[in-house]
């Protein structure tokens, strides 16, 4: 991974145009070829980015990043404060806790929980930014990406939003709808999901395991 902190301005040219005026920012170039531009005020979400596969060409103080669709990020760099490269090695990936991992397995086994006529395409559906928990098809044959959490919070909705943005660029999958499934979903997460057009689904762990609500209770 390469990290560059510099004064820069960024222009995106593609299906639309966008401009980031000159300011100090963090540029990340990852081993998968992706390039992202970050500010210091919005957690993990970049101001702009180019997902792989893409190519980076450096011409003096100008970077040109081009993806397979011909879209471009033009980054004009001034006053570099840091330019460092680090080998992070192979990442083992996200290891979910037992309940969350089991929820995903159970929902895959009982995909009808999503609705009548749903069918499972694949668990851990691969994308360039990580696997989608479940990829399904609804009764109309439309792709549905499902993110499974034990506790549904805003971060989970943001994660699913990023998956949907990427998946909907694939003409073989688009349109792709989203379902955010969790045992508990916070009100703020529900509000954000509704704003993003994502359906929320509350999961009953015992019901998915085939237990009645009072089975195995001590009291």
Q: Is the same domain home to 145 and 170?
A: yes
Contact between 88 and 1 (Cβ < 8 Å): yes
Q: What does the alpha-carbon distance between residue 118 and residue 103 come to, in Å, rounded to a whole number?
A: 17
Q: Of 63, 85, 107, which residue constitutes the final position of a domain?
A: 85
Q: Is the same domain home to 79 and 115?
A: no
pLDDT for 13 beyond 60: yes
Q: Is residue 214 part of a domain?
A: no
User: Looking at residue 45, what is its pLDDT?
Assistant: 83
CATH code: domain of residue 24: 2.70.180.20
Q: What is the pLDDT of residues 82-137, one digit of tens each?
A: 999 999 888 776 655 557 888 999 999 999 999 999 999 999 999 989 999 999 99
Q: Is the same domain home to 56 and 102?
A: no
| Host domain of residue 65 | 2-85
Give me the number of domains the chain comprises.
2
Q: Of 51, 85, 119, which residue constitutes the final position of a domain?
A: 85
Q: Is the same domain home to 104 and 202?
A: yes
User: Looking at residue 206, what is its pLDDT?
Assistant: 84
Q: Is residue 215 part of a domain?
A: no
Q: Is the same domain home to 131 and 163?
A: yes
Quick one: pLDDT band at residue 207, thresholds 50, 70, 90? confident
Q: Is the same domain home to 31 and 105?
A: no
Q: Is the same domain home to 78 and 171?
A: no
CATH code: domain of residue 144: 3.40.1350.10
User: Looking at residue 94, what is its pLDDT?
Assistant: 63
């Amino acid at each position: 991974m390469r990290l560059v902190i510099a004064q820069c301005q960024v222009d995106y040219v593609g299906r639309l145009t966008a401009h980031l005026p000159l300011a100090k920012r963090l540029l990340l170039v990852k081993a998968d070829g992706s390039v992202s531009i970050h500010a210091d005020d919005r957690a993990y979400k970049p101001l702009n980015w180019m997902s792989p596969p893409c190519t980076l060409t450096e011409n003096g103080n100008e970077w040109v990043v081009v993806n397979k669709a011909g879209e471009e990020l033009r980054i004009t760099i001034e006053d570099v404060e840091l330019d460092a490269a680090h080998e992070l090695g192979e990442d083992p990936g996200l290891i979910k806790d037992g309940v969350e991992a089991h929820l995903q397995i159970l929902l895959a086994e009982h995909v009808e929980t999503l609705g009548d006529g749903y069918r499972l395409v694949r668990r851990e559906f691969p994308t360039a930014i990580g696997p989608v928990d479940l990829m399904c098809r609804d009764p109309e044959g439309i792709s549905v990406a499902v993110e499974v959490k034990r506790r549904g919070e805003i971060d989970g909705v943001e994660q699913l939003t990023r998956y949907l943005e990427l998946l909907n660029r694939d003409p073989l999958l688009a349109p792709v709808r989203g379902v955010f499934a969790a045992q508990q979903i916070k009100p703020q997460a529900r509000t954000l999901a509704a704003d993003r057009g994502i359906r929320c689904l509350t999961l009953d762990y015992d019901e998915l395991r085939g237990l009645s609500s009072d089975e195995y209770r001590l009291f």
